[in-house]
Structure 1
Amino acid sequence: MSTRSYQDAVEHLNSLQSNAATLEAVRASGGRLSEFAIPEMLEYLDRIGYTPSQLNALNVIHITGTKGKGSTSAFTESIIRHSKPEWKTGLYTSPHLVAVRERIRIDGVPISESDFAKYFFEIWDRLVANQNAGKVPTTPPMPGYFRFITLMAFHVFLELKVDATILEVGVGGAYDSTNVVPAPIVTGITVLGIDHVFVLGKTISEIAWQKGGILKKGVPALTVAQPVDAMKVLESRAEELKASKLSVVSANSELSTLKLGLAGSHQVQNAILAVELARSFLEKQTGVAQDTILPISFQTGLVNTRWPGRCQTVVDPKRLRSTWYLDGAHTVESLECCMQWFVSPGVGIPLQKAADLSTSTRVLIFNCTSGRSGESFLGRMIETTRLRLALHKGEKDAVLFNHVIFCTNVTYADGHFKGDLTTKAIADSDLAGLKTQQALASAWSSLAPSYPKSHIHVLPSIEHAVKEVENIQSTTNNHVQTLVTGSLHLVGGIIEVAGLSEVAL
């Protein structure tokens, strides 16, 4: 190729995705053959020319958990960046919302399309050139999607000589692709609960064992308060892996006076962990003890943290009287937090208790991974909504949403995806019959029997969903408030199709 563009890189990357059948086989087996996960990742690292010890130069803060690890990573990066503006920070997270390059950020900004293409093909070419260097028999010729981007992130951060790397675990911990850094500076664990599809059906103790796998010899570990069984496992893992200490972070009253950059009461706990991770990191890297009082630089970092698609309010710049509420919540616990945020005065309901709910038209756009229980998700959302309405409005049985839309994560009405949002993880048969969406609609009707079926919409694409919101808007003089949740992929598609990128990202 004479030129290798960003679009070329995205197409190559998409070729590394696992299809729906493969993912289903992984789920059925209870997860990837874990004993090979790290050896295979180390082999790929060797094939691109790096040793594990070289990754220590990245000065890593490694963060795992089942809820809030992305937000905690964003808070931590922002604190360090504002505390040490002369330093260069690297932030690696997943998934992305609109563009895959969002996963690799320098000083809080996604790398450019040209840089993404440059670094992508440097890694691609090294892997292709060294395909016969295999030492682990199970290692496929090319890594999967997430493994590849992880390798690429290591390469980018090493090439650019970052001073601090905030590394978010993808799934699990012990066998995650990010867990090949021998000696991070500090590790952190956010709330443990129901995890992604690879650990559905596991106990909290099994989940804690996986998450505790990121602890390292001689490295301090910080965690938020955990369920008793989970905490026992983490303590056992800390001893087994010889972490220098395992500390539970305590409440910080100074945070109560700050308006955090990320909305939602649940973000306070994430911010507390981020503060302590940043303190531990800065003490180690500078040799200077950090003040126990929250420094102004820490406060500035917390207030200025931006993390699109998480409890985010976006006023539509093109559609009058339209506001979008975006939250990529995709577990039972995070969906409960989402509804606690949305069903709050000044967010999804009026500030005044006496104000009529009918002054706005509220729409829910929802989708979830087919392997998950839509009924349990929707049930928790509806129950939380009822409790919140009773608390704030004194209404026990009010129907908050005037319309609900269940759509696929397909981006456009003609059936194709935006390149960065392409997914092979949805079975063709599921898409053709809208099986997941029909099941969600049925679950909604079962949970809310009196809800008018004419206001439940099952649609084949995100573009169809946006057009339905526009149709609803055309029939009312009310302000239209649309909550989008259940999937970060869905949220990213809405940002793309509705043209919200300039104000949302």
Structure 2
Amino acid sequence: MARARTYSEAIRLLNTCQSNAATIEAIRKSGGRLNEWGIKEMLDYLRRIGYAPDDLNKLNVVHITGTKGKGSTSAFTERILRSQIGGKVGLYTSPHLCAVRERIRVNGEPLSEDDFAKYFFEVWERLEADPKTLTDHTPVFPIYFRLLTLLAFHAFLSMGVDATVLEVGIGGTYDSTNIVPRPVVTGVSALGLDHTAVLGNTIEEIATNKGGIYKAGVPALSVPQEQAAGLAVLRACAEKVGAPFEIVPPLPASVSLGLRGEHQRVNASLAVGLAKRFLQATGRSVDGTDFPEAFKAPLAATRWPGRCQAAKDDKDSNITWLLDGAHTVESLRSCGEWAWAEEATKPTALIFNTSGGRQSEILLAALLDAGAGAAGTDRATLGAGFTDVIFCTNVTYTDGHFKGDLTAAAIDPNDLAALATQRALADAWTKLVPGFSGKVHVVPSIEHAVNIVHEEEGPRSVLVAGSLHLVGGVMEVAGLQNALSME
């Protein structure tokens, strides 16, 4: 029987390449270093779908990594380049919110379902036709992120993009995006220990991994890192490969950004540096000052869905959703500062989840303490302002199923069945906000959480945080797809 080359079938096959929870956690803990064959295998997969590494240089890549802010930096960079070079600008990021195809955008728009399916099956069937793998332990089809990376490369080459903004998935040196021989420019956003501190990794080890994207003769940029040791390692990484190293200057105070939060100014400063070096390296004219005036409008117009984003509910005009996929201590601090910055939209309800194994109390405390600081109050008073606090899983629907694009094999089924993470979060809330008089809910799906919000009456602002997967699920269930646009 002939295969149905549809979007839904593409998603079904793609989901067969997801790693389970244990594998994902091991990769995270290794900073992406788990598979010493990773880059070699990725290059062989590239060969099997018909490309040589040098073909990727045609994509004119801006390669971006970092612990914090690499996604926002990518969004700022894409918007600047789109405004300056015309033509087609590709953007590859992760994770997605509602649909996998959001990860692969051209001129800000996700691939259509038809285009995603077309390019997916071209890649899949080339892998099927050449099933011999590099080693006996290499799977015929690459794991999820690798497959999507191959798909992005194939789609961008097929569509003839003029520039590609390429965000690293995990780490840098061993990431599947790190097979482009000669990007146009590379950059590292803020380094931090949030993802890896419990693993014993040092800032020097993290910086070494991130600095692995620097290439000989290619401008190697960094923001001014908080820890001098990390910056020193990045500089050494650049010198080792013969890459001109540059610390980007801060933005002028007069520059307005389309993304909220003071931390975004650091991300935007890196985007400005990357865009300037890209335009110079590709022979395009650009103002030689630290901040070209032509970059002002695109920075103000930048949108990055699910990050410090306010959206009105289509079904109930009384509901304002405050969406931020913040999931580290520092990003949750920024989220708290943003969410309580304005009296009119300060949160009255919270939907929260985080990855299993993370430290519930520390993460919630970071959010509440930052919010209290922004609101000029204390943690207990701030917490008392909530009527409902809802801890849910990332399962999409009340019947226990995921939307196809949101299927997550990485959730530990034992944790899920017992709602262990959610109960730990509820316990942490009780400890952090003693005497809380509102309702604390522990529920098994995102749809349960959204239903609770819709059942309440009167004006309410609902903060959704702790996980980009959670934010995407809420956007899907609450019908907030219009908020996915980068326009």
Task: Give the TM-score normalised by the residue count of structure 1.
Answer: 0.91
Q: C-alpha displacement at 1:186, in angstroms?
A: 0.4
The code of the aligned residue for 1:495 comes to: M
- Once the two structures are superposed, the pairs formed by residues 36-55 of structure 1 within 5 Å of their partners are 36-55=37-56
Q: Secondary structure at the match of 1:139?
A: coil
Q: CA deviation at 1:486?
A: 0.5
Residue aligning to 2:83:
82
Report the secondary structure of 2:80's partner residue: helix
Distance 1:233 1:96, change over 3 A: same
Could you report, residue by residue, the CA deviation over 1:362-405 in whole angstroms, capped at 9, with x for unpaired residues? 00110000021112101211222222222xx6998443423211
Root mean square deviation, CA, Å: 2.0
In 1: Cα distance, 2:32 partner to 2:259 partner:
32
Distance 1:348 1:283, change over 3 A: same
Distance in 2 (CA, whole Å) between partners of 1:407 and 1:394 is 26
- Counterpart residue number, 1:490: 470
Q: Answer yes or no: is the 8 Å Cα contact 1:389–1:396 preserved in 2.
A: no
Q: 1:417 aligns with which of 402, 411, 418?
A: 402
8 A Cα contact 1:311 1:338, kept in partner: yes
Cα 1:73–1:24 change in 2 (3 A) is closer
Give runs of aligned pairs for residues 245-264 of structure 1, distance below 5 A. Answer: 245-253=244-252, 256-264=253-261
Equivalence map 1:139-288=2 (5 Å) = 139-194=138-193, 196=195, 200-226=199-225, 227-243=227-243, 245-253=244-252, 256-286=253-283, 288=285
Deviation at 1:294, TM superposition (A): 3.9
Match of 1:375 among 338, 349, 361: 361
Evaluate the alpha carbon distance shift between residue 27 and residue 103 of structure 1 in structure 2; reply closer, same or farther with a 3 A threshold: closer
Identity across the alignment (%): 54
How many residue pairs end up in the alignment? 482
1:430 corresponds to 2:415: yes
Q: Is the 8 A contact 1:224 1:249 kept in 2?
A: yes
For the 8 Å contact 1:282–1:290, the answer to whether it is kept is: no
- How far the C-alpha of 1:347 sits from its partner, in A, is 5.9
Name the SS of the counterpart of 1:35 in structure 2.
coil
The one-letter amino acid paired with 1:455 is K
Tell me how far 1:200 sits from its aligned partner: 4.3
Aligned to 2:428: 443
Tell me how far apart the structure 2 counterparts of residues 344 and 92 of structure 1 sit (CA, whole Å). Answer: 31
Kept after mapping to 1: 8 A contact 2:29/2:199: no
Residue 469 of structure 1 pairs with residue 477 of structure 2: no
Match of 2:408, SS?
Answer: coil
2:290 and 2:187 map into 1 onto residues whose CA distance is 21
CA distance in 1, matches of 2:143, 2:122: 17
In structure 2, how many angstroms separate the alpha carbons of the residues matched to 1:150 and 1:504? 21
Corresponding residue of 1:354: none
Structure 1 counterpart SS, 2:172: coil
CA distance in 2, matches of 1:395, 1:144: 43
Tell me which residue corresponds to 2:65.
64
Unaligned runs of 5+ in 1: 350-360
8 Å contact 2:81–2:275 — kept in the other structure?
Answer: yes
In structure 2, do the counterparts of structure 1 residues 495 and 287 end up closer, same or farther at CA, with 3 Å as the change threshold? Answer: closer
Question: SS where residue 257 of structure 1 aligns?
Answer: coil
| TM-score for the superposition, normalised by structure 2 | 0.95
Return the offset for 1:299.
1.4
Cα drift, residue 239 of structure 1:
1.5
Which stretch of structure 1 is more off in the superposition, 285-294 or 371-380? 285-294
Residue 456 of structure 1 pairs with residue 444 of structure 2: no
Residue from 363, 366, 377 that aligns with 2:352: 366
Q: 1:481 aligns with which of 437, 441, 461?
A: 461
Residue 329 of structure 1 deviates from its aligned partner by: 0.7
Contact kept? 2:203, 2:229, Cα under 8 Å: yes
Distance in 2 (alpha carbons) for counterparts of 1:199 and 1:112: 40
Aligned residues of 1:197 and 1:371 also touching (Cα < 8 A): no
Task: State how far apart, in whole Å, the 2-side matches of 1:120 and 1:95 are.
Answer: 18
Q: Is the 8 A contact 1:13 1:145 kept in 2?
A: yes
Deviation at residue 450 of structure 1 after TM alignment: 1.9
Give the equivalent residue in structure 2 for 1:386. 372
1:222 & 1:29 partners in 2: Cα distance? Answer: 24
> Structure 1 residues 75, 200: closer, same or farther in 2, change over 3 A?
farther
